[in-house]
Amino acid sequence: MLGLTNMNFSCLATDYDGTLAEDGNVAKPTIKALEAFRRSSRNIILVTGRELPQLLEIFDRTDLFDWIVAENGALLYHPATRRKLLLTESVPLHFVEELRSRGVSPISTGDAIVATWRPHENTVLEVIQQLGLERKITFNKDAVMVLPVGVDKASGLGAVLKEMTIQWKNVVGIGDAENDLVFLHRCRRSVAVSNAIDSVKAQVDFTTRAARGEGVVQLINEILKDDLQSRYPIQCEGSVVIPSNPRS
């Protein structure tokens, strides 16, 4: 194992549904890999579109994460202390009421997020415009999520990294859907699981051979083996070691 001072990648940022989890469940081998990653003195941040109560109900190993970025970037949760931090304004109730009056169903609301499903996106957009709200639509496959402008997985993860004094250049990100791209683009290395949608696969550094949790296990094993150096060999200039193709 590489020493801490030689680590390029000290932090893993991972999506939940379709990445760590299948149908909401995380397999035991994936749990074991996450545990091994933590034992290596590295950090794990969960970055999910789920509302926190939903996540806590279906997944009892939040202790594996240093922080959880929930509601697609709107809410931070610190599992060790159970501290919550809302990064933006709360859900406007009149917006939800108007959606219901127009037959939008089902509707799920968190502290800041309002979510429904296709094909309601046109109705949602009409209501946003008519009410003059500073809100935008973000898609996660068939899910339609509504959040304040400027709030996304990248903004939420950025707030956590600042809190932890971790730089983006030390982060590997992995995901599967279009709402993951904003944070994957910021990470030093971006990875898609093999079940990811094509638009994500086309914009990341590499795609795992396996799907969902098995793909995350593959990535973790590669990081623990040699800090991804077998995939991205380092280049030397004089006495300075420079990783190849560094991301800004």
Contact 87, 160 (CB under 8 A): no
SS (H, E, C) 224-241: HHHCCCCCCCEEEECCEE
Find the mean pLDDT for residues 47-53: 97
Predicted local distance difference test score (pLDDT) of residue 108 = 95
Predicted local distance difference test score (pLDDT) of residue 232 = 85
* Strand order, beta sheet including 114-117: 108-109, 114-117, 143-148, 135-140
Predicted local distance difference test score (pLDDT) of residue 7 = 66
Query: What residue type is 27 in one-letter code?
Result: A
pTM for the model: 0.90
189-192/206-207 β-pairing: parallel
Give residue limits of the domains in the chain.
Answer: 4-86+151-243, 93-148
* 84-125 confidence digits (pLDDT tens): 999 999 999 999 999 999 999 999 999 999 999 999 999 999
Please, how many CA atoms are within 13 Å of residue 117, restricted to the half-sphere of its CB?
3
Whether pLDDT at 67 is above 60: yes
Cα gap 90→148, rounded to integer Å: 9
The third-level CATH classification (topology) of the domain covering 4-86+151-243 is Rossmann fold (3.40.50)
Find the mean pLDDT for residues 128-156: 95
Cα gap 125→27, rounded to integer Å: 37
Find the mean pLDDT for residues 58-62: 97
Please, how many CA atoms are within 13 Å of residue 29, restricted to the half-sphere of its CB?
11
What does the angle CA 104 – CA 106 – CA 107 come to, to the nearest 5 degrees? 80
CATH code matching the domain that covers 93-148, chosen among 3.40.50.720, 3.20.20.70, 3.90.1070.10, 2.60.40.10: 3.90.1070.10
Predicted local distance difference test score (pLDDT) of residue 13 = 98
